[in-house]
Chains A and B, each alone.
Chain A
Amino acid sequence: MLRKKTCIAMLLAGGQGSRLGILTKNVAKPAVPYGGKYRIIDFPLSNCTNSGIDTVGVLTQYQPLELNAYIGSGAPWDLDISNGGVFVLPPYQKGKSGEWYRGTANAIYQNMAFIEQYHPDYVLILSGDHIYKMDYNAMLDYHISHGADATIAVREVPWEEASRFGIMNTDPDGKIVEFEEKPQNPKSNKASMGVYIFTWEKLRHYLTEDEADKNSSNDFGKNIIPNMLRDKQVLVAYDFNGYWKDVGTIESLWEANMDLIDNPMPMNMHDKKWRIYSKNPGMPPHYISEGAVVTDTLITEGCEVYGKVNHSVLFAGVVVEEGADIEYSVVMPGSIIKRGAIVRRSIVAENATVGAGSIIGEDSGNIAVIGQGVTLPAGVSVPSGTQVDESYTF
């Protein structure tokens, strides 16, 4: 039998992230590279470790290979321990039945046996969609001290954007009185961050009840939370004021990368007490050559820069050849920008090659994207907002 845990985390990593276009064609959204050396999932996993939560179930479903390989034993996040650690949980056959995860609540329901192994008092539900640093332990303290059955992390968003979010209407004590999914006329600007802590006994009850309801969409926001409110359970909002960025679209992923170049940074990534861990590719430091010009840029290990880079983020092992010119762009691991190529407001995915003299993106307009492993011929141009994969013809 496994030893009891006070709180374990369940990370919902099964979504396709279709709004990220060709960036999630071969990988699940949480495995999408971000910030020069990270993947999105590094943030919730590092937050768990830094918050003292050492047991994490990662629920996968869509294109899991790269994500599974990335998580591995969990060693980069100190989650390779014998009592707990990180577990990849794909859907599996049970008795004569077997099915995919039908919704966020159903995904947790299907893994109740996993949770029960640890007899937790509380379960933290996370998603792999956001960039943020958060102390889940402080949130757990809040949950306990408020005698809550569920605590939902909320963040104030600009009023004009509130109708895009799940909005929590609270009383003066922070108790949630109403939950509205994407309301047309929002009464509050406190948006759910998709981070929940439940008292496990209560959640187990509501998951079981929800599963029996054939008309349910088996979703936390649409079903579990409203059902708990209906039954007058204690639901409280936990305010979070730090940096929090949704990276669900190509534009927002690009913006979140650009945020890291702001001086001062909106999120302190140099904090030694709250490091963001990632799997390390084991490369030498990056090299800036004699003729290179590098300004306002983040560069990581293994890069070789011979050209010009301004206001951009270069991931591990990127090569920028002589005369290449990159501005306001994100170049993911292993990609090569050949001689004289011009890259503007673009995302170049992993292991792509931009041919000599090619022009990618424009100074304004939507972000251009070059897909994973795509080799662009020399001298082509890719207009803003275009997504180029293997099947693209010039």
Chain B
Amino acid sequence: MKDVMGIIYTGENDARLRELTIIRAIAALPVAGRFRVIDFLVSSMVNGGMKNIGVIMQKNYHSLMDHLGSGKEWDLHGKTNGLHILPPFLTRENVGLYPGVLDGLRSNTDYLNRSKQELVVLSNSNIIYNAHFKDMIAFYENTGADITLMYTKDPTMKRDEFGTYISLDEEGNVKDIEVEPTHPNYENTFMQVCLMKREFLKELVDKAVAHGLHDLARDLLLKLVQEKQAKVNAFEYTGVCWNIDSVQSYFKFNMDILKPEIRKRLFIDELPVFTKVRDEMPAFYSAESHSINSLVADGCQIEGKIENSVLFRGVRVAPNAHVKNCIIMQDGQVQEGAYIENCILDKQTVIKKNTKLIGPEAYPIVIAKNVVI
């Protein structure tokens, strides 16, 4: 098997996630009751045999560092390789904020040099997926490409100006790339994941940054394809995926995984998703509680009514409280007689007795961390 490393870039634009990303990167956003967005990527990479994973940090990265720790939960705490947290730093070329992935990679040339793997998978951190990377690596090897992109035909991923789309010829080679078009012409969404040789990536990054380029797809991949400077092909990901870049898409992802058939496609037996554990006791449902169509994590105490909701670890729903179509993050509390609907409660929020809070379905209310209402 080929020796492959992974690099995750976590500097995406998060303006449309409002309060949820004020205190954290998208990668550190809590999802699905006990995970963070990045857990899916790191676990996929580890399950695909990668033992050296670098995470390029950008802003508000404290929460992400805290979550990843030594990488122990993903078995990435070995002596050789392991998890490498790559925070931004001041250099001659760089003053902290990376304008794009290419700048982030350029700043970490040393890490790329030091790594010994032949191939590298580069991924953004705002798309949730659970891929068989071994298949993608085999595809890359068998087709003799310089760069293999990962794409999906999933129509829900086609989100106009918030996506990048590719067209392919009969052999699966990339013919064209459209970056954030208002009216996309292609059905294939590029998942911001690509695979190439480490040496090749180093060369590309060095040249690109020297020419003032920042964005991977628009500035680099498009040019390579148009000028036929490299063989760029694409591997189809047929699993489920979600782009987490707005409050609505965040809400939709959590509601989607309430469906057993979708959950089965994301949480695959042979590709387990690891996360930091908190050692909470199992969830408790009282005799008077009433729960339907919900995902509930350990440490929850349910004494009221919950429906169509995702409850993270340690959430308490008091008697006669009613929670409908909500996402409640870690240690949230809904007190007696309160009613909340279409709300996203960030960590440690408290909804006091008899409070009513109803958001419109299309625009859920977001309650920021530690807020008491």
8 Å CB contact of A298 from B32, B33, B282: B282
A287, CB-defined interface residue at 8 Å: yes
Name the residue among A270, A287, A313 with the largest chain B CB count within 10 angstroms.
A287
With A282-B274, A313-B282 already in contact, the answer to whether A289 and B260 are too (CB < 8 A) is yes
* Chain A min CB distance to B121 (Å): 22
List CB contacts (< 8 Å) of B251-300 with chain A: 257-258, 260, 263, 267, 272-275, 277, 279-289, 291-299
Tally of A-B residue pairs with Cβ under 8 A? 106
B311, CB-defined interface residue at 8 Å: yes
Report yes or no: A287 in contact with B263, Cβ–Cβ below 8 A: yes
B18, CB-defined interface residue at 8 Å: no
Q: State A111–B312 Cα separation when bound (angstroms).
A: 45
Report yes or no: B311 in contact with A285, Cβ–Cβ below 8 A: yes
8 Å CB contact of B273 from A269, A282, A291, A314: A282
The SS class assigned to the B binding surface is: loop
Report yes or no: A282 in contact with B272, Cβ–Cβ below 8 A: yes
- Please, which residue of chain A has its CB at the minimum distance from the CB of B276? A280
With A35-B281, A275-B279 already in contact, the answer to whether A284 and B292 are too (CB < 8 A) is no
List CB contacts (< 8 Å) of B289-341 with chain A: 289, 291-299, 301, 310-312
Instruction: Please indicate the chain A residues that have their CB under 8 angstroms from the CB of B116 in the complex.
Output: none
8 Å CB contact of B279 from A278, A290, A299: A278
Interface range, A side: 35 or more
Q: State A276–B119 Cα separation when bound (angstroms).
A: 42
8 Å CB contact of A287 from B279, B284, B288, B295: B295
A261, CB-defined interface residue at 8 Å: yes
**A-B residue pairs in contact (CB < 8 Å), sample of 6:** A76-B277, A270-B280, A270-B301, A276-B281, A288-B294, A299-B282
With A282-B274, A289-B260 already in contact, the answer to whether A294 and B297 are too (CB < 8 A) is no
* Chain A min CB distance to B275 (Å): 7
Going nearest first, the 7 A-B pairs with the smallest beta carbon separation are A285-B33, A36-B282, A300-B282, A269-B281, A285-B297, A280-B277, A296-B287
Report yes or no: A277 in contact with B279, Cβ–Cβ below 8 A: yes
A129, CB-defined interface residue at 8 Å: no
Interface size on B, residues (CB 8 A): 39
B207, CB-defined interface residue at 8 Å: no
Q: State A291–B293 Cα separation when bound (angstroms).
A: 8
Report yes or no: B299 in contact with A270, Cβ–Cβ below 8 A: yes
Q: State A275–B291 Cα separation when bound (angstroms).
A: 27
A308, CB-defined interface residue at 8 Å: no
B198, CB-defined interface residue at 8 Å: no
Instruction: Please indicate the chain B residues that have their CB under 8 angstroms from the CB of A269 in the complex.
Output: 281
- Please, which residue of chain B has its CB at the minimum distance from the CB of A36? B282
Report yes or no: B291 in contact with A292, Cβ–Cβ below 8 A: yes
List CB contacts (< 8 Å) of A252-309 with chain B: 260-261, 263, 269-270, 275-278, 280, 282-292, 294-301, 304
Report yes or no: B292 in contact with A292, Cβ–Cβ below 8 A: yes
Q: State A278–B277 Cα separation when bound (angstroms).
A: 10
- Please, which residue of chain B has its CB at the minimum distance from the CB of A309? B285
